[in-house]
Structure 1
Amino acid sequence: MELMEGVQLRRAARADPAVLALTTAQQAELAAIYADDQPQAGPLHPAIEFILLTVDDTPVGCVGLQPISPGLGEVKRMYVEPTSRGWGLSRLLLAEIESQARARGITTLRLETGTRQQEASALYTHHGYTPTPPYPPFENEPASLCFAKQLD
């Protein structure tokens, strides 16, 4: 799907080389931000689906939708590479993953981000996500912030 000139979203498998490159970059960026305080990134569910965002056919962002239980999904590995930030691409990814969740019958989305990621927290709260108590495996992670949103 083309959203604006040169920007496309498409579904991608978790083993897609572009998704792997972007999620690896995300984990490296988080390691640099948090060092030893970084919450552990748990394993991805085999049924996770990713959305890949490209600009002029170059992969620059991704986000995963991981099923948790009936009606509950989790936003995973949302990332836009640093030189592509500030263009509203995260909003496009978030809107698309919410649309995919609704199509799969998911009524609640949750996510975890970190205390040092103010831009991410602002994005989520601006789009209707509210703080929630930490859920497993983040309940003992002081650097974790958890959010949830009821989908219409």
Structure 2
Amino acid sequence: MLKIERTNSENQNFINLVKQLDNYLTVVDGDEHDFYNQYNNIDVLKHCVVAFLNDKPVGCGAFKQFDDNLVEIKRMFTSPEARGKNIATTVLHALEDWAAELNYKASILETGKRQIEAVSFYKKNKYQIVPNFGPYKNVENSLCFKKVFEK
């Protein structure tokens, strides 16, 4: 059974999953990892979710305020042994629902072009490619997405 828990960045299960994510990204991002890593500090994340499958933490995600209407989705990860079970979609929808409850209108996010699974995942979940924002404006490997919440 899948259970979603709302928490913050001090949650040890969230911290452990983010460490697995960072290990994966170190390999995928290669030389660019340090650039991306500077924007992924979890200390600022107050809205995090952890997914539990049969009481084992297997996925996570978070959002932070981007402006008065937008949140930025951060630190999405599903452990390799739990992939293909719709966990990431459940986590993403939980984040979107939570942000909508707080009166945000849409979410944005950045992912790397080399993260092919992530790119197709966000497209499948109705995210549209938008011009790169903020620190990703002139970054060749970055793709930025946006999704307006349904009312």
TM-score normalized by the length of structure 2: 0.91
Preserved contact between residue 108 and residue 147 of structure 2 (Cα < 8 Å)? yes
User: Runs of 4 or more off by more than 6 Å in structure 1?
Assistant: none
Shift of 1:127: 1.4
Secondary structure, in 3 states, of the residue corresponding to 1:90?
Answer: helix
In the TM superposition, what whole-angstrom CA distance separates every residue of 1:44-66 from its partner, at most 9, and x where no partner exists?
47353101101111111000011
Amino acid of the structure 2 residue aligned with 1:29: Y
State the match for 1:3 in structure 2.
none
Which residue of 1 is the match for residue 5 of structure 2?
10
Q: Does 1:89 align with 2:87?
A: yes
Check conservation: 1:14, 1:20, Cα contact below 8 A. yes
Provide Cα deviations, 1:125-151, integer angstroms capped at 9, x if missing partner: 111110011111112322111100111
Out of 96, 121, 124, which is 1:123 matched to? Answer: 121
Q: Does 39-48 or 64-73 show the bigger shift?
A: 39-48
Structure 1: distance between partners of 2:28 and 2:133? 22
Question: How is 1:1-152 mapped onto 2 (pairs within 5 angstroms)?
Answer: 6-38=1-33, 39-41=35-37, 42=39, 43-44=41-42, 46=44, 48-152=46-150
The answer for unaligned runs of 5 or more in structure 1 is: 1-5
Number of equivalenced pairs: 147
| Separation in structure 2 between the aligned mates of residue 75 and residue 143 of structure 1, nearest angstrom | 18
Contact 1:45–1:67 (CA under 8 A) maintained in structure 2: no
TM-score by length of 1: 0.91
Rounded to whole Å, the distance in 2 between the matches of 1:85 and 1:54 is 13
User: Aligned-pair distance for 1:70?
Assistant: 0.8
Give the aligned residue type for 2:13. A
CA distance in 1, matches of 2:100, 2:116: 27
- Partner Cα separation in structure 1 for residue 98 and residue 43 of structure 2: 16
Listed as ranges, the gaps of 5+ residues in structure 2 are none
Check whether the contact 2:51–2:57 (CA below 8 A) recurs between aligned residues. yes
8 Å contact 1:74–1:111 — kept in the other structure?
A: yes
